[in-house]
Amino acid sequence: MSVATSHVEARPPVPPFTHETAELKVRLAEDGWNSRDPEKVALAYTPDSRWRNRAEFVSGRPEIIAFLTRKWARARLSPHQGGVGVRRESHRSALRLRMA
């Protein structure tokens, strides 16, 4: 009997986290999202990830990439409305999360 194993890529830093490594992990996640590179962002999620955005349901990395490509293309075409946690920087928006 063979046991199937799934290959999940571990990206440092990995648990258990210290305050410094947790801060680094959050910063790396922010930098990934702020890159607006759908392929790079999708790699941070498991291949079978399932997302919900309002009435839209997305399953798997290919659909995540397509969703983010559409989302960020629309964001470039429409004026940015601003909001909590978002900072406008000339031609792009940057998200910075705060840790308590």
**pTM above threshold 0.85:** no
Tokens representing 7 are 């290959």
| 4 has a pLDDT exceeding 50 | no
Beta-carbon count within 10 A of 64 CB: 22
Distance CA 52, CA 64 (A): 10
Q: How many domains does the structure of the chain reveal?
A: 1
- Residue 56: domain span: 37-77
79 confidence band (pLDDT: 50, 70, 90): low
**Is residue 71 domain-resident?**
yes
Those residues with Cβ within 8 angstroms of residue 82's Cβ, 6 or more apart along the chain or in another chain = 88
Residue 10 lies in a domain: no
Q: Quote the mean pLDDT of the chain.
A: 80
Q: What is the pLDDT of residues 51-64, one digit of tens each?
A: 999 999 999 999 99
Task: Flag whether 62 is in a domain.
Answer: yes
Is the pLDDT assigned to residue 14 strictly greater than 90? no
Kindly state whether residue 89 falls inside one of the protein's structural domains: no
